[in-house]
Structure 1
C-alpha cells in the first residue's frame, strides 16, 4: 500500500471569462521513504496540486478525483476537524511564501510550540525544547533567543527556515514542500536537504517536493513528475526520465540547463518559445503543441499515453527517437 495515492485529480476554478481547468487529471503515488519531485513552469498547477493534498484548495475551487488516499485512508471524505487532526502531525507542508504564511501577531516560539502541543501530549516546556531543537537543525543560531522574535524581525531566509522547522516539529509521515529552499543560500539549502534526507531514512517520511530546479531533482529525487498546463506530461524514476526524456517539453527543459564538461563557455542556452496557453474553457489535444518543434496537425485534437518502461510514462504522439532523445 502506497503512503499517498492520487488518481485523476482535477481542480476547476470559476473565472469571469469562464472555467479555469487548473489541474487536469493528475495521478501519482508516493511510497514511504520516497521523494517525488514535481517540476514545471510557473502557473502549471504544481502549487494547487500540493495544496489539494492537505485540503487547502482555494474556497471557490471545485476539486474532484477518482482516489485520494493517505496511508489507506480516503482523505476526500475528511471533515475540517479530520483535516486538522492530520495537518501538522502526519502530513505537513512547507509553504512557498513565508512572509504570508507566518502569523505576524505571534512570536516564533508561540507558532512552533502551538504545533507541537496541538498534536502531542506535551507541556510548554517540552514544546519549547523541541522548538529550539528544530530551529538549530535548520541552521538558525541563537535559537532560544529567536523564539521571542516576531516574523517581521527576521530576514526572508530565516523566515523560510522557521517554516521548515514548523513543518518538521512532529516528524510527519508525509511532507509537502512547495519551493522550500528558494530564499536560502546554497550552503543552507544543502543543509536543509540533508536534514530531509535524514528524516526520510530515520522515520520513513515520504516527500512531495515542488521545484523549478532540475539540478535538485537530479540529486535529490527518486521519482519526477513533469507538469505542463495542468497535466503531468511525463513521469517516472528520475534516472530514467533524465537519461531518456521522452516528452518534447521535458527535452526542452533539460536543453535549457548547461552541462559541465559538455556545454562550452559562451554557448547560448536553450529556450522554450511562446507562453503557456490559457486553461480557461474546453481543452483538447496537446497543450504544448504551439511551442513544440515536433508538432503535427493531429496534436490539435488528440494525444496518447506511451510507456518507456512500466514505471516511465509520457503523453505524446511522437516517440523519443523522433524528438532526438
Structure 2
C-alpha cells in the first residue's frame, strides 16, 4: 500500500512492552502512540528507564524474544510491522528504515574495517557490485564531513575518535537512503562542539533526503533545536505530546514543566543561580500499576491521581495525561527563552 506525502509514514497505537522478571512482570512501555510524516522530526524525551530506547527497538523489530510486545497498530509505509517475519524485517532494516545507536564503539564491529561495515548493507539491499558499494561509502563519508574518506575505509573503529565513529554510524545508516531513521542518543558521549556538529549534520541530511526522523534523547536543549514534534515519556508512558512550540511554550503536564525548569535560560538564569529539580525517583513498574506514575513526585498531586488518569487534548496535536485542565497548576514562563 502506497503512502501519500501527507499521510504518516509511521503510525504507532497502544504499543506495550512487558519484561518477565523473577519478582513479576515489568510494564516497561505502557500504551504509547504517535504519528510521523516524511520530513518530520519527532523527539522522544524523558529520564533514563522511561522506555525510549525500547520503543525504538520495537519499531525496528530488534527486541529480545524474551520480551512481550503488543500493539493495536504498528505501521510503516503501509506495512503492518506486527505481521512481518524476521526475514521481511531484515529486508526493511538498513534499506527503508535505519537506526543510529547510542554508543558507536560497541555498535561497530572491531574485527572489520570501516569500509566492510559501510558496504555490507548496500551490497545486501542494492545487489550492487563491490566497486559501486565502495564509491557509495566514500560519498557518504564525505557527506558526513569525514576528510580523506577513501583512506578511512581501510581503518578499524579503534583508530577513529568518538566523533568520527559517530559520523561513520550516520553514514552507515544513510547508505541506502532510508525513509525513516531512528537516532538513539546519538550525541551522548560527545563533547558539546562535536554534539552541535552532529545535530546540524543530521538535520541537514534529513532535509536533503526528506526522511522522517525519531531522535531519542534526555536533553531538552537538543530537542529545542531540532524537533518538529515532541513526546515526553515518563515511566513507560507518553505523558505529554505535541508540537515543539506547544511543549516548550505551553507545557501542560507537571513532569514536562519540571524538566523545563531544570534548563538554564540564556539571559534569565543568573550565574550561580540554583536550577529547578524534580524530587524523588521513578516508581517501580513491576506488577499491577494504576493512576499517574508521577504522582509521588508531583507538587500538584491529589488523591484522585491514584485512579485512572484522563487524557486531555488542546488543538489537534497537543495532549497530556493529567487531571488538571489547561492552565491549572502551571508555572508561567518556565520555558521562555529555551527555544532558539
TM-score (norm 1): 0.96
Gaps of 5+ in 1: none
1:35-114 alignment runs, 5 A limit:
35-114=41-120
Do the aligned residues in 2 keep the contact of 1:252 with 1:271 (CA within 8 Å)? Answer: yes
Partner of residue 174, structure 2:
168
Q: Over the residues paired in the alignment, what is the CA RMSD in angstroms?
A: 1.3
Alignment of 1:1-325 (within 5 A): 1-325=7-331
Q: Would the aligned equivalents of 2:44 and 2:214 in 1 still touch at CA under 8 Å?
A: yes
Q: C-alpha offsets along residues 265-312 of structure 1, whole Å, 9 cap, x if unaligned?
A: 221000111111111111100000011001111111221111122210
| Aligned partners of 2:44 and 2:230 also within 8 Å | yes
Q: Deviations over 1:121-174 (max 9, x none)?
A: 321111112112222222222222221112222233322221111111111100
Alignment partners' CA distance in 1, 2:235 and 2:114: 37
Provide, for residues 81-113 of structure 1, a one-character-per-residue CA deviation record: whole Å limited to 9, x for no partner: 101110001000001122221122211110001
8 A contact 1:7–1:66 mirrored in 2 = yes
Report the CA distance between 1:320 and its aligned residue: 4.0
Deviation at 1:198, TM superposition (A): 3.0
SS of the residue aligned with 1:182? coil
CA contact (8 A) 2:163 2:194 kept: no
Name the SS for the 2:194 alignment partner.
helix
**Farther off after superposition, 96-105 or 168-177:** 96-105
Unpaired segments ≥5 residues, structure 2: 1-6, 332-340
SS of the aligned residue for 1:81 comes to helix
Aligned pairs, number: 325
Structure 1 range deviating more: 39-48 or 198-207? 198-207
Counterpart-to-counterpart distance in 1, 2:198 and 2:104: 16
Residue 226 of structure 1: SS of its match in structure 2?
Answer: strand
CA deviation vs aligned residue, 1:184-225 (integer Å, no higher than 9, x gap): 333433333333333332332100110112112112110000
Residue pair 1:139, 1:191 contacting (<8 A) in 2 also = no
